[in-house]
A and B are shown apart, each in its own frame.
Chain A
Amino acid sequence: ADICVLPFLAKICQKIKRTITNSVPFRDVDSDNYSVSPTLRGYHWRGRDCNDSDEMAYPGRRPDRWDEHRDSNCNGIWGVDPKDGIPYEKKFCEGSEPRGIVLLGDSAGAHFHIPPEWITASQMSLKSFFNLPTALTDELDWPQLSGATGFLNATSGIKENSIYLHLRKRNRCNHRDYQNISKNGASSQNLETFIERYVEEVVLEAGIPTHCPTFTFLNFTVQCDPSGGRGFGMCMHLCCNLVRSFLFLLTNRGIDPVPKMTTPEQFYSKVMETLKYLNARLPKGSHVILYGLPDGTFLWDHLHSRYHPLGQLNGDVTYGQLYAFLSCLQVSPCHGWMTANETLRTLTSQRAAQLSNTLKKIATSQKFTSFRLYYVDFDFQEIIRKWQKRGGQPWQLLEPVDGFHPNEVALLLLADNLWDKVRLQWPQVLGKENPFNAQIEQVFGDQGGH
């Protein structure tokens, strides 16, 4: 039954298991958690390794002797300026507070997406499935196009940038410093293991003098945990000697019908547990942003009577039917809002508002030694309004096949919205604009790309 007991398979099984449980790259010759291949937790998920035979060369680390002789932090900036003998990394990046981004999230953070052309018979052709192998080896997630760590041009053509691309634009020294450590189905129930593994793997690494500033945020935005759990979001911004963490507590949508609904008390204790865990591990000078819940009633309001891609040919399947089917099978990702039961939708929204207030309460009343606490509303309605102003329709912000996840447009609008809020309210979080950006581009071009 267990093929892994075969001796000659034991090693590869162990590798696969480590990749899956720890969300680290499968192909990683120097075992520094960065890879030169895209999928299987490779550079679609974390900055591309610039030297996969040197475990001390990887994106986001503090430069080794100002990278005079090699690019130890993979940002494409290295060598010495012949005019004055000063290492370029020192000249362009010293004091600029470089930082990267790490996302610990769930399917929304990883940008779960099933292309509608895979299930639309009328448009199906040889080209329809060209991206299926990549998608499967990326767990049907597309982090390379996500709102937090996306580095490819948006397929939707929208001009907004991911948080990572904003950070890179602000300071070109941040090139390739992104990590999307998200997992489909991540929720508060497995959050702690997830965080522990992440914190041990990344934050402690940040603690030792090799890892450079990382702006890490954890974003379990839409996980509806059928066991009544909750999603969280957390964001940590690690500076070389200071660690600032933003905790986006995107609480969840882990709202189960009434009996198992997450109560504000449960939520309060879970959030405090997580904050205390982080407070004990993150160096001083962190920031934590608690991020409220959206009101998920827009799912039903804008989708229920629209035809699902499977129903467009014969006009026989609406999203309302899909929601009922998924709930009946108990595999609905969001039973509280993806339901015809208006009472349940209202109840879920009321509870979501209570949980958001719980976060506000924590943000205003709790003090921690390692970080400062802020609260931000997760205002999806604002995103919908912005999109409608551009002539868009609300249903165009949701994944067409699962009728639930925010799609690429929504994720990028959310990222842009969040960037603006943080930049206006807490600019210190994002580091300064690097005055040498133009010179970096002049000398190093695209810095080796992604």
Chain B
Amino acid sequence: PSNGHTCVGCVLVVSVIKQLAQVHNSTVQASMERLCSYLPEKLFLKATCYLVVRTFGPDIIKLLSADMNADVVCHTLEFCHQGPGQALCHLYPLPKEAWKVTLEKARQIVKKSPTLKHPRGG
């Protein structure tokens, strides 16, 4: 199962990306670039940000553009994980349609994604 802290981190970052796009009325791509541009060079923070954007950006763009919230994005990218018999952990109010339907739809959107080929462990 995904580490709880990883899930919290993912939901936090995706929320900020989504809200930056909303505040600046920009695309998700532009919002991610903006966020990275705000980070200092020190400790490779900016470089790491661009690397993460290059790796997960395309999937995040597709999912947020389909109006998925941070919970759905992070479960789809498997940073959050609902184990068998475990409760569904979510920060935002649940989507109107059934969670399973939403998640399945999201998974279809990123089905061919190269990032999901590798187990989330990395």
Q: Which A residues form the contact surface with B (CB < 8 A)?
A: 119, 121-122, 124-126, 128-130, 132-133, 136-137, 310, 313-314, 316-317, 321-322, 325-326, 328-331
**Segment at the A interface, from B57-65, B84-92, B102-110, B111-119:** B84-92
Instruction: Report the Cα distance A53→B43, complex, angstroms.
Output: 27
Contact A316 B92 (CB under 8 A): yes
Contact B39 A321 (CB under 8 A): no
Known contacts A124-B20, A313-B19; is-contact A129 B90 (Cβ 8 Å): no
Instruction: Report the Cα distance A133→B45, complex, angstroms.
Output: 8
Contact B4 A124 (CB under 8 A): no
Known contacts A119-B12, A119-B15, A329-B89; is-contact A313 B22 (Cβ 8 Å): yes
Known contacts A124-B38, A316-B93, A317-B92; is-contact A136 B43 (Cβ 8 Å): yes
| Chain A CB within 8 A of B55 CB | no
Closest to A123 in B: B23
Known contacts A322-B91, A329-B4; is-contact A125 B38 (Cβ 8 Å): yes
Using a CB-CB cutoff of 8 Å, which residues 12-62 of chain B contact chain A? 12, 15-16, 19-20, 22-23, 35, 37-40, 42-43, 45
Q: Which residues of B contact A313 (CB under 8 A)?
A: 19, 22-23
Contact B42 A121 (CB under 8 A): no
| Chain A CB within 8 A of B100 CB | no
Closest to B70 in A: A310
Q: Which residues of B contact A133 (CB under 8 A)?
A: 40, 42-43, 45
Q: Which residues of A contact B45 (CB under 8 A)?
A: 129, 132-133
CB contact between B87 and one of A121, A316, A317, A328 (< 8 Å): that residue: A328
Instruction: Report the Cα distance A136→B40, complex, angstroms.
Output: 12
Instruction: Report the Cα distance A263→B11, complex, angstroms.
Output: 36
CB contact between A132 and one of B7, B23, B39, B91 (< 8 Å): that residue: B39
Instruction: Report the Cα distance A85→B42, complex, angstroms.
Output: 50
Contact A137 B43 (CB under 8 A): yes
Q: Report the minimum CB–CB distance from B34 to chain A (whole Å).
A: 8
* Nearest 3 A/B pairs, CB to CB: A329-B4, A121-B19, A328-B89
Given A310-B91, A329-B4, 15 more A-B residue pairs with CB atoms under 8 Å apart are A119-B15, A119-B16, A121-B16, A121-B19, A121-B23, A129-B38, A129-B45, A136-B43, A310-B19, A314-B22, A321-B91, A322-B91, A325-B8, A328-B87, A330-B4
Q: Which residues of A contact B91 (CB under 8 A)?
A: 310, 317, 321-322, 325
Contact B43 A326 (CB under 8 A): no
Closest to A127 in B: B38
Q: Report the minimum CB–CB distance from B44 to chain A (whole Å).
A: 10
* Band of interface residues on B: 20 to 34
Contact B39 A129 (CB under 8 A): yes
| Chain A CB within 8 A of B96 CB | no
Instruction: Report the Cα distance A124→B12, complex, angstroms.
Output: 14
Instruction: Report the Cα distance A126→B35, complex, angstroms.
Output: 9
CB contact between B38 and one of A119, A128, A314, A325 (< 8 Å): that residue: A128
Using a CB-CB cutoff of 8 Å, which residues 69-104 of chain B contact chain A? 80, 87-93
Contact B37 A126 (CB under 8 A): yes
Q: Which residues of A contact B93 (CB under 8 A)?
A: 316, 321
Contact B12 A129 (CB under 8 A): no
Offer 29 A-B interface pairs, CB within 8 angstroms, sorted by A. A119-B15, A121-B16, A121-B20, A122-B19, A124-B16, A124-B20, A124-B38, A125-B38, A126-B38, A128-B38, A129-B40, A129-B45, A132-B39, A132-B40, A133-B43, A133-B45, A136-B43, A321-B92, A325-B89, A326-B4, A328-B88, A328-B90, A329-B4, A329-B5, A329-B7, A329-B8, A329-B80, A329-B89, A331-B8
Closest to B18 in A: A121
Contact A331 B5 (CB under 8 A): yes
Q: Which residues of B contact A331 (CB under 8 A)?
A: 4-5, 8
Q: Which residues of B contact A317 (CB under 8 A)?
A: 91-92
Instruction: Report the Cα distance A290→B7, complex, angstroms.
Output: 38
Instruction: Report the Cα distance A128→B16, complex, angstroms.
Output: 13
Q: Report the minimum CB–CB distance from A447 to chain B (whole Å).
A: 31
Closest to B20 in A: A121
Q: Which residues of A contact B37 (CB under 8 A)?
A: 126
Closest to A130 in B: B40
Instruction: Report the Cα distance A121→B23, complex, angstroms.
Output: 7
Q: Report the minimum CB–CB distance from B65 to chain A (whole Å).
A: 17
Q: In this complex, which of A129, A321, A325 has the most chain B Cβ atoms within 10 angstroms of its Cβ?
A: A325
Q: Which residues of A contact B40 (CB under 8 A)?
A: 129-130, 132-133
Q: Which residues of B contact A328 (CB under 8 A)?
A: 87-90
Instruction: Report the Cα distance A129→B5, complex, angstroms.
Output: 21
Q: Report the minimum CB–CB distance from B7 to chain A (whole Å).
A: 6
Q: Which residues of A contact B8 (CB under 8 A)?
A: 325-326, 329, 331
Q: Report the minimum CB–CB distance from B108 to chain A (whole Å).
A: 25
Instruction: Report the Cα distance A326→B35, complex, angstroms.
Output: 25
Q: Report the minimum CB–CB distance from A189 to chain B (whole Å).
A: 18
Q: Which residues of B contact A325 (CB under 8 A)?
A: 8, 11, 89-91
Q: Report the minimum CB–CB distance from B88 to chain A (whole Å).
A: 8
Q: Which residues of B contact A322 (CB under 8 A)?
A: 91
